[in-house]
Structures are given as C-alpha cells and as structure tokens.
Amino acid sequence: MNTATIVVMFFTRVTAVAALLCGLTVVAAAHQGAAPAAAGARILLMPRHIVSGERATLAVLDVNGRLTPGANVTFSNGDHLKTDATGRALFVAPLTPGVLFGAIEGRAGRVTSVVLTPTEAGAAGMEVLGVPRVASLADRFDIYGRGFCGDADANHVTIGGRAALVLASSPVSLVVLPPPEAEPGATDVAMSCAKHEAAPFRMTFVELSLEANSSPLAHGEHRVLTVKVRGSTAKLLLEARDLAPDVADLIGGNPAKQASSGGAENSAKFEVIGKTKGSFLISIRLASASGKPLAAGQ
C-alpha cells in the first residue's frame, strides 16, 4: 500500500527557530554552530520598495527558514552579490527607477522590488504608513513607510518591548520577524532608526498550531488538517501551499485559501489526498492585507 507521511510547515521562524510540525510533533531547528550550506538557499527576501541610489538590505533563507551565508544573488541590471555571515547583504539600489528583479543563482523564480525616486520616497522624518493588522508569530511581515534605514541592523523594532529581527530593509520598506518570546494577542510595536522614531502602533499577533491524524496516509485517502488560531477571535484568511505535489494533492488548488471560523475556538480546515509513497510538505501562512496602522494602545 502506498503511504505518505504528514509534514506541515508554518513559515517561517528565521535564524533561531524553524518551526516544523511533523504529524503532531513540533521540531525546533536551532541555528547552532555550522551555518546552512549556500547550496541549500531557497528563499530570497527583498524590500518591496527601494529608493534610487540608496542602500538596502536583502536576506536569503534555506527551506527551513534559516538565514543562509554565502548565497549568490543576481539582479536584472547585471549586478550580483553574496550574502554575508548573517545571511543578508547590503546593496545600493539602481539609479534608474522602475522594477528590479532579483534571483538566487541557480534557482528558478525571481523576486521584484520597485525602485522609487528620492522624491517619491521623500521623508521629513520616520513614519509608518502600512502594516498588516494581524501577523503570525512564526512568520515575517512587511512594514511600509518612510525614513527607515537601508542597513537592516540600524533599524530597531520592538514588539511588546522585545527586539524583533529586521531581515530586509530600505528607506521605505522593512521585512520583520517577531521575536521568539512574543506572545499571541494585541500588542504595541515601536520603531526607530538613527535619531528618528516612528509613532508606536498596535498589531495583533497569532499563533498557529496543527491538529491532525499523524498515522500513515493511504493512496487515495482524504485527510483533514485543522489549523488552530490563538491570539485573535476574528475570521482570518489562511493560505496553504503544497510543496510536494507529486506526493499528495491539496484540495482547493495550490495554493488553497480558507477563512478561519472566528470566535473562541478559532480554526480553519484544509484537506489533502495521498497520491504516492513519500513525505509531503505543506506550508500554511496567514494572508493579511496591509492598512494604515492603529495607534498604540487601541
């Protein structure tokens, strides 16, 4: 009988922890000692918007969400660079406005950044203009605004008073990972860069967990995966993506989206069908649109 083993990934705890749910067991992959091999680079993170002639930072992750040193990145304008010991790289945005494509050397797929003029990005100070109202504790999220630092480590972001990790950055866009110690629920976010500070704002962070039968999945058998949401009673949109479609099918397409139930027992359900023997991998992410930030304490 053909069987498939359940492996579900909640993307993505970077550097410190890559959270994998194997059946019902959470496996924490710590970034200890040896760094991930550059050959394992899979995910390129670039700020959604960069500013012509200004510095910006990108990051490269492996399939487990670990920052990956020594990864080669190429750009559509002919430039190329290699990530440093932190798995990130500082670069200068092209002088010509437009769209810049980036790719991990030897990997399919490209990531885009929109190059703005200094006038379009004009900043009289530091201001946050757009954030997701709800974000996952185990996943990165974007912050849009102006007056940020292109050097990722020059930006200081705290969530509930705890330092978050800035993965990628430009003067107008940040990619941020919540701190491992953060708790689910509504909390205040504070930001500063050099001598500038943005007005604190409020966000809700949720924890996603899996309930599923971890026994082998037979060929043709349907299996329901229930994702529990802790930290919000609102109906939230979740996206599941089948990363091994040759082993199992994800019902509803790839990716598949489902709204959670809302309420005290907030959850969403996805369904898979076994196809052939082997382990299948499904990523589940929170899909949340950005909007004007709420004032702190609201």
pLDDT value of residue 210: 85
Q: Answer yes or no: is 294 within a domain.
A: no
User: Where do runs of H (alpha helix) occur along 30-183?
Assistant: none
Domain of 90, CATH number, reads: 2.60.40.10
Q: What range defines the domain where residue 71 resides?
A: 38-116
- End of a domain among 116, 138, 158? 116
**Which range (21-30, 80-89, 200-209) has the least confidence?**
21-30
Distance, CA of 17 to CA of 40 (rounded, Å): 17
Average pLDDT value over all residues in the chain: 85
Report pTM: 0.84
Q: Answer yes or no: is 244 within a domain.
A: yes
pLDDT value of residue 52: 96
For the cut 80, the answer to whether the pLDDT of residue 13 exceeds it is no
Q: Which residues, at least 6 apart from 131, have a Cβ–Cβ distance to it below 8 Å?
A: 141, 142, 143, 144, 189, 201, 203, 290, 291, 293
pLDDT value of residue 56: 98
pLDDT value of residue 290: 87
Q: Which residue has the higher pLDDT, 35 or 250?
A: 250
Angle (CA) 13-72-33 rounded to 5° is 45
Q: Could you tell me whether strands 185-193 and 173-177 are parallel, antiparallel, or unpaired per DSSP bridges?
A: unpaired
Cis amide prior to 255 (ω within 30 degrees): yes
> Residues 180, 272: contact at Cβ < 8 Å?
no
For the cut 50, the answer to whether the pLDDT of residue 54 exceeds it is yes
pLDDT value of residue 48: 95
Q: Answer yes or no: is 88 within a domain.
A: yes
For the cut 50, the answer to whether the pLDDT of residue 24 exceeds it is no
Q: Which residue has the higher pLDDT, 2 or 73?
A: 73
Distance, CA of 188 to CA of 161 (rounded, Å): 8
- DSSP 8-state assignment for residue 219: B
Same structural domain, 24 and 62: no
User: pLDDT-derived band of residue 289, with 50, 70 and 90 as boundaries?
Assistant: confident
User: Strand, helix or coil at 137?
Assistant: coil
Q: Answer yes or no: is 293 within a domain.
A: no
User: pLDDT-derived band of residue 118, with 50, 70 and 90 as boundaries?
Assistant: very high
192-226 tens-digit pLDDT: 998 899 999 999 999 999 887 767 777 888 888 89
Q: Max Cα separation, the chain?
A: 66
- End of a domain among 188, 204, 220? 204
pLDDT value of residue 19: 29
Q: Answer yes or no: is 121 within a domain.
A: no
Domain of 10, CATH number, reads: 2.60.40
Q: Which of 17, 26, 58 is nearest to 41 (CA)?
A: 58
User: Strand, helix or coil at 152?
Assistant: helix
Q: Which of 75, 268, 43, 21 is nearest to 140 (CA)?
A: 43
For the cut 90, the answer to whether the pLDDT of residue 141 exceeds it is yes
For the cut 70, the answer to whether the pLDDT of residue 31 exceeds it is no
List beta partners, residue 218: 3
Backbone angles phi, psi at 219, to 5 degrees: -60, 125
For the cut 50, the answer to whether the pLDDT of residue 14 exceeds it is no
Same structural domain, 171 and 237: no
Domain count, the chain: 3
Same structural domain, 132 and 160: yes
pLDDT value of residue 131: 96
Distance of CA 40 to CAs 37, 71, 84, 129, 179, Å? 6, 9, 15, 35, 24
Same structural domain, 192 and 239: no
- End of a domain among 97, 116, 135? 116
Is residue 109 exposed (0-12), middle (13-18) or buried (19+ Cβ within 10 Å)? exposed
Same structural domain, 253 and 276: yes
pLDDT value of residue 270: 93
Distance, CA of 136 to CA of 96 (rounded, Å): 35
For the cut 50, the answer to whether the pLDDT of residue 291 exceeds it is yes
